[in-house]
Structure 1
Amino acid sequence: MGRAAHMLGTTPGFLRAIGEARLITPHRSKGGHRRYSRYQLRIAARARELVDHGTPIEAACRIVILEDQLEEAQCTNAEHRRAAGSPNPPAAA
Structure 2
Amino acid sequence: MTQPDDRLDDEDYPAYTMGRAAEIVGCSPDFLRRLGEAKLIDPHRSGGGHRRYSRYQLRLAARAREMCDQGTDMASAVRIIILEDQLEEALRHNQQHPG
Cα distance between partner residues in 1 of 2:67 and 2:83? 13
1:56-91: CA deviations, max 9, x gaps?
00100000000000000000111122xx5xxxxxxx
What TM-score do you get using the length of structure 2 for normalisation? 0.80
SS in 2 for 1:35: strand
Residue 44 (structure 1) aligns with: 61
Cα distance between partner residues in 2 of 1:3 and 1:72? 28
Residue 17 (structure 1) aligns with: 34
Cα distance between partner residues in 1 of 2:95 and 2:20? 37
Residue 64 (structure 1) aligns with: 81
What CA RMSD, in Å, does the superposition of the two structures yield over aligned residues? Answer: 0.9
Residue 77 (structure 1) aligns with: 94
Cα distance between partner residues in 2 of 1:20 and 1:34? 13
Q: Which blocks of at least 5 consecutive residues in structure 2 are unaligned?
A: 1-17
Question: 1:55: Cα distance to partner?
Answer: 0.3
Question: 1:32: Cα distance to partner?
Answer: 1.2
Task: Name segments (4+ residues, structure 1) moved above 4 Å.
Answer: none
Q: Which blocks of at least 5 consecutive residues in structure 1 are unaligned?
A: 85-93
In structure 2, give the amino acid aligned to 1:64: I
Identity, in percent, stands at: 66
The one of 22, 25, 31 equivalent to 1:5 is 22
